[in-house]
Chain A
């Protein structure tokens, strides 16, 4: 059974692919559940800042070839978890592995070279590099990046041409042709988001971690970004993204993991998440005096996801 069978959850254009959802068919929607083919596996990862425990995840697996949304209210520890996995922060304890290789404590650049590439909540474009240079920089295994070969142009000229060709393809795909040779620092907020996503792809990742790719982005661009994500998934890439707005999540993700107070409180296909009492607690605060509230997804639930679909 795929999430498309549930009326009004997925916006038709972005679409949850039956194939991707099929990979997770039969997976029990409970926190820490094992996946059939996990790409990223986290075990007992904790991180505290002073007295505050920001992350305390017992077990989390991300299924290969799917879009997994990591949601939760502000301060739930989503970004901290991303930072730990991508090597930008240290965990106090725990182990995690990626595509079968242990990743625990690896520095950020090594993580990226393994094929796990992230983006940032506040975009980080290289302001004084052109859009094309931003992309070309991200290419992996460039011979000309070593000091001695760098001065011997014939050694890397061919590879550089190929890198440029790939960059141009991505520029076209993300509709950045108009600003190709502009300094990235002159781009608008939305263009920066597109550039960052394109740049992550230039590194030929196996999996991308997108930290709030839709934050501060207008609805039209949000749809476009979502469509890009779905396309990438259909091309075989594994996507994991952080989002605290549930509406955005519903349409595109194959699986949703919910964090609150540093813990993983729920997991499941998107349509089940809105009804999950743990999620409602996390978003609206604990209040169990009325049994009915647990079933009502409330203002952040699937009702709004339908509204976004209607805009198309």
Chain B
């Protein structure tokens, strides 16, 4: 077993572009769930409309990339309004039901043959982010410290991705520590009380839904840019559940919760994957017990187990405050 390879793989994944994508998407979800108490189970839907907004504008309609980015953001706003208008006046669970259905409906809609002329159907759309890579100021070559290295292309995506995480994180930190954030947290704790104190609860929930959704769309775009491709089946409902997993892991209702959660989630997932493969190859684990092709499933089972243990022993997540967390169980 080569531990250096395992750690290298895990670190690459933990700080890689995909971790930044999930951190961003989870930050939006954190605004919904951690701060406003909105049960959004369709964050992947926002990622989808963001990614497709970009891809469709550029590939199908030949627009510029910056126009595509604006298109993706606009799609997220529209989706948030469509979801929010009918459900935000209702009890919290209705939003959960609506969003989970909407996410899946969107995926099926975008992959349908009816929509194929625009969305590319099951094949999706490719090569829409050339403008982005043309902007890359990093000279060709490989850059690395210790066990990890990235090529110029990945490093560029990585820099922009974590840069976005920093900017969005700073923005959210300013927001939640403002009077606006106080109202939003009040809505999470007791909507009726907030209303009795003159706060327009519906408007705040809508603002939160739109803002968190837009952040999700940015994450979706970053993901699409990274692979220069969108395909509908990358946006399946499991993505939202991974987002919840890493949010709970890091600590919901903490600015850095999703960031720590995402890094750790991807580190662990890849670590387990790599370690299992190595162990099977080296014969420490009998291939009759787990074959290499089953590793993908087993690592998720192990991550699930980790999450269960975490919920039992540290329900507030790594950065959360247990006392505060317990108060929410009214």
Q: Which residues from chain A sit less than 8 Å from chain B, CB to CB?
A: 86-88, 107-110, 112-113, 117-120, 124-129, 133, 136-138, 140, 142-147, 150-151, 153, 156, 160, 183, 185-186, 199-200, 203
Contact = CB atoms under 8 A, between A and B. Distances in A.
A149 to B, nearest CB: 8
14 contacts: A86-B196, A126-B185, A126-B186, A126-B194, A133-B182, A137-B182, A137-B197, A138-B198, A140-B198, A143-B179, A146-B180, A183-B324, A183-B327, A203-B198
B300 to A, nearest CB: 32
B190 interface: yes
The 10 closest A-B pairs by CB, nearest first: A185-B327, A144-B179, A150-B180, A112-B198, A150-B178, A124-B193, A126-B189, A127-B327, A108-B195, A113-B198
B175 A150 contact: yes
Contacts of B330: 127
Given A126-B189, A129-B185, A109 B201 contact: yes
Nearest to B199: A109
B323 interface: yes
B183 interface: yes
Contacts of B211: 147
Given A127-B189, A127-B327, A138-B198, 5 more contacts: A110-B198, A112-B197, A126-B186, A150-B181, A186-B327
A115 to B, nearest CB: 9
Given A126-B186, A128-B185, A129-B186, A109 B180 contact: no
B159 interface: no
Given A108-B195, A129-B189, A151 B178 contact: yes
A151 B193 contact: no
Interface string B112-125: 00000000000000
Interface of B: 171, 174-175, 178-183, 185-186, 188-190, 192-201, 207, 211, 253, 323-324, 327-328, 330
B196 A160 contact: no
A188 to B, nearest CB: 14
B180 A108 contact: no
A128 B327 contact: yes
A153 B197 contact: no
Given A109-B198, A109-B201, A129-B185, A145 B327 contact: no
Looking at A143, A151, A160, A199, the one whose CB has the most chain B CB atoms below 10 A away is A151
Nearest to A183: B327
A153 B328 contact: no
The B interface, classified by DSSP as helix, strand, loop or mixed, is helix
A156 B181 CA distance: 13
Contact of B174 (A119, A126, A153): A153
Contacts of A119: 196
Contacts of A120: 192-193, 196
Contacts of B182: 129, 133, 136-137, 145
A109 to B, nearest CB: 5
A294 B180 CA distance: 56
B192 A124 contact: yes
B179 A127 contact: no
Contacts, number: 111
Contacts of B186: 126, 129, 137
Contacts of B188: 128
A193 to B, nearest CB: 14
Given A88-B192, A145-B179, A128 B328 contact: yes
Nearest to B324: A128
Contacts of B253: 128
B174 A150 contact: yes
B195 A109 contact: yes
Contacts of B174: 150-151, 153
Nearest to A119: B196
A198 to B, nearest CB: 12
B135 to A, nearest CB: 27
A137 B189 CA distance: 12
Contact of B183 (A112, A137, A185): A137
B180 A145 contact: yes
A203 B181 CA distance: 18
Contacts of B180: 144-147, 150
Contact of A118 (B181, B196, B201): B196
Contacts of B324: 128, 183
Given A144-B178, A145-B183, A150-B181, A125 B193 contact: yes
Given A137-B186, A145-B179, A151-B174, A109 B327 contact: no
Given A129-B186, A147-B180, A124 B328 contact: no
Which of B185, B193, B323 has the most chain A CB within a 10 Å cutoff? B193
Highest count of chain A CB atoms <10 Å: which of B171, B180, B183, B323: B180
A117 B196 contact: yes
A31 B200 CA distance: 35
Contacts of B323: 183, 186
A130 to B, nearest CB: 10
B80 to A, nearest CB: 13
B179 A128 contact: no
A183 B196 CA distance: 20
A112 B327 contact: no
A14 B196 CA distance: 28
Contacts of A140: 198
Specify which of A86, A113, A129, A143 lies most central, judged by the most chain B CB atoms within 10 Å of its CB: A129
A87 B197 CA distance: 12
A179 to B, nearest CB: 14
A252 B82 CA distance: 51
A211 to B, nearest CB: 10
B192 A203 contact: no
